[in-house]
Structure formats: structure tokens, C-alpha cells
Structure 1
Amino acid sequence: MTKDILLWDQTVFKEQEYFELDFLPENLLHREAQMRSLKFSVSPALRGSTPLNACCRGAPGTGKTSAVLKVFSELENATQKVVPVYINCQLDSTRYAIFAQIFKKLFGYPPPSSGISFKKLFSQIAKHLVEKKRVLIVALDDFNYLMASKEADEVLYSLLRMHEVQPGAKAGAIAILSDLTLDMARDLTPQVQSVFLPEEILFPQYSLEEIKDILKYRIKYGFMQGVISEELVDRVARYTAETGDLRVGINMLKRAGLNAERRASRTISEEDVERAYEGSRYVHLNYTIRSLKKEEKALLKCIVESGKDEMMSGELYDRFREKTGLGYTSFYEMVNRLEGLKLVSLNNTGKGVRGQSRLVSLMYDPKEVGKRIDV
């Protein structure tokens, strides 16, 4: 019996980092095609030429950021002549803040804290690239934040027309987007569109079998042998597929392992997995709500404030129009996007003028949604 009890210095984990959400695995399974496209886009930089711009588009938790960071890691290991800079636009959403991060990557220290003008900051970056014969590639993650803050045009224009100010400067951009409806042609100015022209790289949601493959890879290197049964792996995969977000499954495995350790057990039980899901299921909600536009958050808030489990789309539209002043076309597109992000479910009632009235319901506890919208 004592052999089933973990001592204070024992663990079910072999390498717990495999279950961290920011961990970059050696092999990025089921994203080979996307990785090839990214490498094709950046390959001119390895020859000292300007890289192709790219747009990585897909729902939250589909491997966009991991794929870009993996390619950036390989670039840094291959040469010092290419400078890949990753920017989280949730944290840095102004042109100055983004170029300050680029400056820090190039020079190894931030620009003076007293502040220098953007013109001077920009000039120092451009001169460095030309003098050192280096090529700059900037990944703008959560690019929709730049669109929302009206900074996208200025950021891209400054980056991609750098050679006009400093002849010989070479730079490219990779936009990472969770918003599948954002229309670059509509929302960027013609001047920026003419220089951006990105390669579109789509990241579809993982299938159930792909999710299983990826979770098993993490389990193989992250857990001790025999810690979790095949049956429970299948359950974790199914829960993950329901949210469409791989991060949910990875976080579930970590929590389930910790739950087993709390019981001083060498194996994960069904109860450990169920308890893990109660916390991990909100990983998708956290990331997805952060990626929404304010009008989409307003739409969710209309459902939360109604106090109902589900609403007829007509009633919801009336509330939404009153709150935002937007028309039915915008409302219809947003409802479909929220369904695609697995935040709401839609069911046709067969009633209504065209027999297509829909019931809209939240896929999460309204209180949990409300808390995250108001942050």
C-alpha cells in the first residue's frame, strides 16, 4: 500500500513545463503546412532580401503564436543577420511602444526612460539595420488590438516604408489574428494595403484525432509512465474539442496531475480530470474574450444582463441596437462570429417571418462571462 503513496519529494510529472501554456515543444504537430508557409515568407531575409509579409489567421488556441515563435527561434539559431521581434499587441498597442520593443531587441537595452521622439527612435533603428546589414521581421500578435486603437496603419506604414526614409533598410511584418472576420482590404488604408499584401496562412481548429495526438505527445514527455489511462486521455481530448482551444486540454492535464499529487496518488483518476475541467474550461473563455471587439463584448453583455438562459435573436438585436446603435448586418455577423468562437450556441426555432428565428444562448455561466467582460 505504501508504494502507492507519493513521498514529499516525488511527483507524477517528468517535465512539468510540457503542460505550461507558453511552452514551445520541439515538434509542433499538425502545423507542418503552416510552418512551411511561414518559412517561405521569411526565407528571403536569410539571403539579405526583404521578407514577404504574412497574416496568420485562426481561432484562439490553434497554434498561431507557437508556429511563429518556433520559426523565430529557428531564425535566431541560424543567423544574426535576421532580427525577429515578437510583439504582444495587448501589452504594446501604440506605434511608439512597438518601436521601443524593436529598439530594445536590436540594441539590447530600452530607449532612454526620459523619452525620445518617435522620429529619432525610428531613425536609430533604420540606421542600425543598414549599417549592420540586418533584416527586421516583426510579428504583431493580437493584431486586432492595433486595429481597435487605430494604430495599425501607422505601425505597418512605418515598418514597411522604412526603406524610403533610410535606403537599404529591410523589414517585414507578420500579423497574427484571432478575428476571422477582420477585412484587411476594408480596414487598412490604400497606402498600407499597397505595401502590406500579406501571404494568408490559415490555422483551422484541430480535429479530435489531432488533439489526441498533441496531448499524447505532451503526456509522453511531461508525465511519468502510466500516470493517465487511454480512456481519460480520450475524455480530456473530447472536452478540449468542445471548446476548440488546445490550451484547455494542456491546462487540464496539468491540473489533473496536480490533483493526483494532492491525493498522494501515482495515477490520475476520473475525478481528478473532472475537477481539472471545472477550472481549465475557463482558459478558452479568458483568452477569447480578450480578443473581442468592444461591440462584441457589448453583445455578450446584452445576454448576461437579460438574466435569461437563452434569448430570441430578435429580442437580443433590439437590446444590442439600443446599446450600440449598430444595424442588423453587424449584429448578424457578430452573432455568427461568437458562435464560431464557441462562446454562444444558435438554434433555429422554426418560428418567425421566414421560419428562421434563432435562439441564442451562452455556452458558459453568465456570471463568469460577465466578470470577464467587465475587467
Structure 2
Amino acid sequence: MDYLRWDETIFKNPEVFDASYLPDMLLHREMQLNQLTSSLKPAIAGSQPINSLCLCSPATGKTSAVRLIFKQLEEFGVVTCHINCQIINTKHQVWTKIFEIVANFQPPSGISFLKLYLATLKRLSKPLVVCLDDLDYLDVKTLNETIYSILKAYETVDVKIGLIGITTDFQVLSKLDALTGSIFHANEIYFPLYTKKETKNILKRRVEAGLYNGVLDDEAFNLIVDLTHNSKDLRLGLYLLKMSGIEAERKAKKKIDVEEVEKAYEGGKSLFLDKSLSALNRMEIEVLKAIYIKDNITSGELFEHFKKRISYRIFYDILNKLERIRLIDLKMEHSKGKTQRIFKKYDKDIMLDALERVSS
């Protein structure tokens, strides 16, 4: 076998496999990019941007599409602010972040919300577009107050502010109260799951940019495509490309084979499962645990166990969320009315162990 020397690498550019990497072109998202561009184009002319709501499952290109459009808007002098609501999850924190973008320095410690709000708006001389990414992480009160404060800013100071929401929760608009719902008129932009062919195209483009020619064995690449498509999570494919390359280099190999991919997958599958579970609240974890403890259960049978604690609507919202983040599958059984058969996506023991980890 021909081994790598200590000063050699199989990576042309390892950064292209990072989740934060932003390619110059997003494959298979032309329609969504055009919709975002149309909504935000008025800001370039100094007018009010049109609000947008980006919807679908995780890892479907929503955040990357917004970041790419923001990059272009900034070239025309539009102010943009991307906010990760998993980290920034109060109204005060949101406006602190906006202030930092607008003013280029941090606000004074302990400043009241009203002073922070007014100071930010008075410094804003250009149109602003705010993106609330993963806005379903905000509690209902914060969600309403934050959106309202952004969209009603023009009544306090003459400013042009548009809002983009990114969420996997298709019911998010139902969480808006009458006051906020009456002003948040958004173009809904759907990001469908990538097909297997699209997944292969995207991963192939990353391989070409990140690895030297001939480094990745065809069988190994096809395995990565299969594993990625089955998980419906493009981030897994990027992880496997990077970690299998690192494993090959650890062995001083000049080529990535199936062996390295399998090793990377064994180390990564629990990592991605834990990440998905971290997005769940206590009740959602309880429902998921009940699904994996029980065998061959329908939604109607499962609801019987929870009907004294949560409403029918909340229960089905939970089931839909669990399906969206690919922890279960649901299949309608027409012979039994509206009930759905629930199928497990993971091995029972693997899931219960993971639930134990995130609950401890």
C-alpha cells in the first residue's frame, strides 16, 4: 500500500465539509432563492422588505439560502441580522444582537429594553432584514413579543424592517396571538427534502471542492449517499465525508474506502441522534419514549395514555414534529378512521439509550 507522508493530505479544502460553510451556489434551491430575492428586493431600493417564512424539515437548505441572500443584500448596503434562536431566545437578547449589528459595538450592560430598542432604531439609517432562525425555540410569549416589536418598529422611528422566520414547525403561525398575527403577513417558502439524486449531486460537488481527485472510492461515496438519503439529513453526509477522510489520514492512507465510512458512521450516528433529541421539550421526550417502549402502536392508542395531560391538538402537533425531525414515521390507516400507525426510525435500544442520555 502507498502511504501518506507526514506532510501530505487528502483534503484540498476541509472547510467545505463544515456545517457553517456557505457555497457560492446552492444546488436544487433555485426556486426558493428566487422567492426570497423577490421578497427582499424592495430593501435594495430603500423600501419595506416583504416578510418571509421558510418552512420544512431540518437540513434542507433554509439557513444557507438566507445567508446567501444576506451576503448579496449587504453588497447593496442593506443591513442584515441573522439570529439563532436556539442561543438567543429572549426579546432583549434579540434586540441586543440587532444593536450590535447596527452600531458595531455592544450596548451598555444592564440597559433597559426600551432604551435599547430606541437606541437601535435611532441608529438605523438603512433598511434592515432580521432573520429569526429556529424561531420555534422561542416560547409563545417571547415569540409574539419579539415579532411584534420588530414589525411595529416603524411606528416609533421611520425605519424599514423586514422579517424572515425559519422553522420546522408548520403550526408556528397558530401560536401567534391576534395582535401579532394581524401584522405578520409572510410569504411562505417551502424547502422540500432533497431527493436521492439531489443529495448525490450536492455531496459530489463538496467532494470535488474538498478532496483531491481520486481520493474517495466510488463504493465508499455511494455508501455515504445511501446513509445520507436514508437519514434525510444532509449534515450527516458532510460529517461522513470529513470524518472518513480524517480516519483515512490517521491510517496514513491515500484513499477513503468503505471501512473508513463505516467507522465514521458508527461514531456519528449517536451524535446526530442526540442533536435531534436536544430539540425536544419534556413532553415530547415522554411521547417519543412511549413510542419506542411500545410495539406496533397507533396514534389513537398512544393518545389514550396522554389524554389526561395534553389536548388532542397538542398530541398530534408532537407526533408531527417527531416525524419532521425523522425520529418516527407515520402512516394513515384509512380503515380505522383518522388514526395513524407509528413506525420507529431507530433501533429501540439505541433510541432509549439516547433518551436516557439527554434526560440525565
CA contact (8 A) 1:24 1:66 kept: yes
User: CA 1:315 to 1:51, structure 2 compared with 1: closer, same or farther past 3 Å?
Assistant: same
The sequence identity of aligned pairs, in percent, is: 38
The DSSP-based 3-state class of the residue aligned with 2:163 is strand
- The correspondence of residues 140-155 of structure 1 with structure 2, limited to 5 A, is 140-146=132-138, 148-155=139-146
Q: Does 1:79 pair with 2:64?
A: no
Q: Does 1:52 pair with 2:54?
A: no
Displacement after TM superposition at 1:318 (Å): 3.6
Distance 2:76 2:332 in 1: 56
Distance 2:126 2:169 in 1: 32
- Specify the alignment match of 1:363 in structure 2: 346
Q: Does 1:256 pair with 2:247?
A: no
Displacement after TM superposition at 1:150 (Å): 2.0
- Specify the alignment match of 2:63 in structure 1: 65
What amino acid sits opposite 1:164 in the alignment? E
Structure 2 residue corresponding to 1:299, chosen from 269, 282, 287: 287
Displacement after TM superposition at 1:237 (Å): 1.0
- The correspondence of residues 107-118 of structure 1 with structure 2, limited to 5 A, is 107-113=103-109, 115-118=110-113
- Specify the alignment match of 2:115 in structure 1: 120
The DSSP-based 3-state class of the residue aligned with 1:54 is strand
- Specify the alignment match of 2:216 in structure 1: 228
CA contact (8 A) 2:140 2:176 kept: no
Structure 1 residue corresponding to 2:102, chosen from 97, 102, 106: 106
CA contact (8 A) 1:12 1:257 kept: yes
- The correspondence of residues 216-295 of structure 1 with structure 2, limited to 5 A, is 216-295=204-283
CA contact (8 A) 2:168 2:324 kept: no
What amino acid sits opposite 2:97 in the alignment? Q
Structure 2 residue corresponding to 1:162, chosen from 120, 136, 153: 153
Structure 1 residue corresponding to 2:326, chosen from 339, 342, 353: 342
Distance 2:88 2:176 in 1: 19
The DSSP-based 3-state class of the residue aligned with 1:277 is helix
Distance 1:220 1:65 in 2: 23
User: CA 1:282 to 1:303, structure 2 compared with 1: closer, same or farther past 3 Å?
Assistant: same
User: CA 1:297 to 1:268, structure 2 compared with 1: closer, same or farther past 3 Å?
Assistant: same
Distance 2:268 2:46 in 1: 44
Distance 2:105 2:13 in 1: 33
What amino acid sits opposite 1:89 in the alignment? C
The DSSP-based 3-state class of the residue aligned with 1:196 is coil
- Specify the alignment match of 2:161 in structure 1: 171
User: CA 1:338 to 1:16, structure 2 compared with 1: closer, same or farther past 3 Å?
Assistant: same
Distance 1:59 1:349 in 2: 24
Deviations 1:94-122 (A, max 9, x none): 10000000001111111112x11111111
User: Runs ≥4 in structure 1, deviation > 6 angstroms?
Assistant: 347-350, 352-357
The DSSP-based 3-state class of the residue aligned with 2:268 is helix
Distance 2:22 2:28 in 1: 14
Deviations 1:163-186 (A, max 9, x none): 1111x2111110000123x241x2
Distance 1:257 1:301 in 2: 35
Count of aligned positions: 358
- Specify the alignment match of 1:319 in structure 2: 305
Displacement after TM superposition at 1:264 (Å): 0.9
RMSD: 2.4
Q: What stretches of structure 2 of length at least 5 have no aligned partner?
A: none
Deviations 1:53-89 (A, max 9, x none): 000111011011111111111222x133x11001011
Q: What stretches of structure 1 of length at least 5 have no aligned partner?
A: none
Displacement after TM superposition at 1:155 (Å): 0.8
Displacement after TM superposition at 1:313 (Å): 4.6
Distance 1:42 1:154 in 2: 23
